[in-house]
Amino acid sequence: MKSTWTLNEKSNGVLSVSLDGEAWVKAQGKALKKLAEKTEIKGFRKGKAPVDKVKASLSEQEILISAVETIAQEALEFGLAESKIDPISRPELGVEKLTTKEAVMTFTFDVKPEVTLGQYKDLGIKREKVIVTQKEIDDEIEKLREEFAELVLKETGHVEPKDTAVIDFEGFKDGVAFEGGKGENYALEIGSNSFIPGFEEALIGLELGSTKDVELTFPENYQAEHLAGQKVVFKVKINEIKSKQLPEVNDDFAKTVNHHDTDTLIGLFEHLEMHLKEDKEQKADEAYTNAILTKVVDGATVEVPTSLVNEEAERMMEDFNARLKQQGFSLEQFTQITGQTVDSLKEQMSVDASGKVKVRLVLDSVANAENIEVNPEEIEVEYNKIAESYSMEVAKVKELAQPETIAYDLRLRKAFDLIKAD
């Protein structure tokens, strides 16, 4: 056997293995014996016919193709060993030449790409310092006041912004009522933007018991196609007007909110400050991590193999589908609601997948450059952490995740920690 390796774009290459002489003759002999075991010849039991009669009943091409199948794995292993390469995708078998004297097989696959690292130390990136301002706390208090506000019936007066108007309405297009355009005693908060643009604003200033014809045009992108971009008239009557009464900010308010079992205003302020700080700390960590990775990855040169991107995109699609099911949705329902297609979703995920794969390849290259290793004790600690996090038995975690996978993830994490430390 002889082999040659040709590396093409995006770390995809072709391994060519040629066979001739005794090795190829033996492969054809083995193939013929296998074919004889399942070939039926008249006058003989299945698999018991003489080899020469079996050979006479088959075409030369059938025997040669079977010979390729018989020796393909051996040829691949020979070529990989001779060229000293490791596939990272499933090799695709092809036949370049096929005669009784010679066979040339090709194996197309991706290999781990070479990464040329840029700067990954002394990046000069600082994590943002987190500060919670009094205004931010006050804004949270206002949100809670809105949440626990009471609606009080107005005896007199007119509709104002933030009021809730209880209305009867019916929509007409060209003088004819259209389906889905009617409601009775509908409670509409003015400013909620729950109706089409212009409807809520048109009610401002109307008095209790008054009526109005509201002329509007539906948006061009409205989901009901027969109404999209159409001029309509809504006949509206104001049945009730309710104003929003916000609670006073005191200890009674804190007890009503009962935020983390807090029953004092001081305690409520402290908990809100802590919650805001935790949220901002998390966002600062994410921004810091993204800034570091972006700089390191953008500074590196690497051609991301298509097979790795496809694998990652498929994994992301599976995770997305699983999350939808947990929420009681199917992928089909999601695409119908959003107007997207499965193909467009996959295309979006492929972009993100490419970025994720590139990050892993660059961090792996940093780990190689810094001789980062992971020992068995560290792997065992990680197994226990995962088990505790997901409330699972360690043995079950080990069934789901191979030590090599755990070691790989830990190695990348160590590489990132090293980058961060500088």
Residues of the chain with CATH 3.30.70.1050: 2-110
Banded model confidence at residue 40, pLDDT cuts 50, 70, 90: low
How far is Cα of residue 182 from the mean position of the Cα atoms in its chain?
A: 40
Q: What percent of the chain has pLDDT over 90?
A: 71
DSSP single-letter state for residue 176: E
Long-range contacts of 115-118 (CB under 8 A, 24+ apart): 115/300, 115/301, 115/302, 115/361, 115/362, 115/364, 115/365, 116/300, 116/301, 116/302, 117/299, 117/300, 117/362, 117/365, 117/366, 117/369, 118/296, 118/298, 118/299, 118/300, 118/301
pLDDT tens for each residue of 134-154 = 999 999 999 999 999 999 999
Q: Which of 352, 256, 344, 299 is nearest to 125 (CA)?
A: 299
- Between the alpha carbon of residue 274 and those of residues 27, 146, 199, the distances in Å are 73, 21, 40
Rounded to the nearest integer, the mean pLDDT of the chain is 91
247 neighbors 149 (Cβ within 8 angstroms): yes
Residues of the chain with CATH 3.10.50.40: 150-245
Rounded Cα gap, residues 228 and 173, in angstroms: 12
148 neighbors 339 (Cβ within 8 angstroms): no
- Between the alpha carbon of residue 47 and those of residues 53, 54, 56, 419, the distances in Å are 11, 9, 15, 65
- The residues that bridge with 211 in the sheet, in sequence order, are 237
313-324 average pLDDT score: 91
Whole-prediction pTM value? 0.71
Higher-pLDDT residue of 216 and 421 is 216
**Topology (CATH) of 2-110:** Alpha-Beta Plaits (3.30.70)
**Topology (CATH) of 259-421:** Trigger factor, domain 2 (1.10.3120)
Is the pLDDT reported for residue 47 higher than 70?
no
339-361 average pLDDT score: 90
Q: Provide, for the chain, the percentages of residues in helix, strand and coil under a 3-state DSSP scheme, each rounded to the nearest 5.
A: 50, 20, 30
The CATH number of 150-245 is 3.10.50.40
| pLDDT in the model for residue 54 | 66
